[in-house]
Amino acid sequence: MKTLFTHLAGTTDLPIWSSQAQGWNHILVEQFQHPPGEEKSHFSEEHAICLSLAPRPVRLLQIKGSKTHVGLQSKGDVSLTPAKIPSYFRWESDDSCLQIRIASQFIQTVARETISASHGQVNATDSDRLELRLEFQTRDPQLEAIGMMLLAELKQEGIGGKLYIESLSNVLAVHLIRQYAASKSRFIVYESGLSERQVLQVVEYIDVHLHQDIKLADLATLLNISKSHLSHRFKQSIGMTPYQYLLQQRIERAKQLLKKGDRSIMDIAFLCGFNSHSHLSKQFRQLTGMTPKTYRVN
């Protein structure tokens, strides 16, 4: 992706956390902490979202394209810079923020899959022209929540797996389309979930590949539908997302292996698709209220 990101007086190029080396597709998530300073940015193929994490309000000057805004940026405030719009920022005190850059092509792909211009039919031409609205300072609890989940996953270095990141990326893309599309588009409401046969296909695939890093694209390809359709319709069918179901099944498999008592907890973690003993322990405790070791001896 062609980008220009120039830091000026008193700033640093390096984020304190970045998904750059974690292999996330379509999205880059970075946390920055800056002393007073200024910066210019121009992302030609990505939309940029900035979520303020500063504990105290920061006086911020923003220039995006031909528009200017000056105000106090508080924790939880969100700004959105659509692709191709050059921007300039200057802040007067220490600042902390989460920057999410999401590929504009990915947004277009999700738009073609999930929006309808008229009568429930996707108009490819309209979705290809879809643009996001520029925002200087807004409150969006859902966008903030998605951002904080991405930050938590970033700090755990993708411990939830690719399916979790893909799910969050899709949720973010759909939210941006629904709430910030420059042209009004109608979101498709799917009336029915997956068929019984389709649900069984997904369930059986997850059961066989439980130890692997299952991706949302794998499940969508299995049914020959889009990733966005799969997530929505799977949840309608069984009341949980593919990621929630996958996690539930991994914990159930871990319970079975723990009761047999002939494998180490580390081995069980890998056999159930967790990437470490601590990852299994954390998820196991969240779902059962006890550690794997406690469960084994009870």
Contact of 176 with 27, CB cutoff 8 Å? no
Choose among 27, 29, 28, 34: nearest CA to 13. Answer: 34
Give 3-state DSSP helix, strand, coil % of the chain, rounded to 5: 45, 25, 35
Q: Is 68 helix (H, G, I), strand (E, B) or coil?
A: strand
Alpha helix locations (H) across the chain? 104-114, 124-128, 141-155, 162-180, 196-208, 216-223, 227-238, 242-260, 265-271, 277-288, 292-297
C-alpha to C-alpha distances, 31 to 28, 152, 231, 273, nearest whole angstrom? 10, 11, 28, 28
H helix and E strand count, the chain: 11, 13
* Rounded mean pLDDT for each run of 10 residues along the chain, 298 residues in total: 40 76 90 90 92 88 87 89 92 91 92 58 54 90 93 82 87 91 55 75 89 89 86 80 88 88 87 89 87 85
DSSP 132: B
Contact call for residues 235 and 241 (beta carbons, < 8 A) = yes
**pLDDT value for 142:** 92
Topology match between the domains 3-180 and 245-297: no
* C-alpha neighbours within 13 Å on the C-beta side of residue 32: 22
Dist CA 2 CA 101 (whole Å): 13
Q: Give the residues across from 52 on adjacent strands.
A: 97
Q: Which residue(s) pair with 5 in the sheet?
A: 41
Residue ranges per domain, the chain? 3-180, 245-297
- pLDDT at residue 6 in the model: 41
**Encoded tokens for 119:** 């009568």
CA angle 260, 263, 269 (to 5 degrees): 105
Q: Residue 126's pLDDT is what?
A: 52
Architecture of domain 3-180: Sandwich (2.60)
CB of 231 closer than 8 Å to CB of 172: no
The CATH class that applies to domain 245-297 reads: mainly alpha
* CB contact set of 82 (below 8 Å; sequence gap of 6+): 47, 104, 131, 132, 133, 134
The reported pLDDT for the residue numbered 117 is: 37
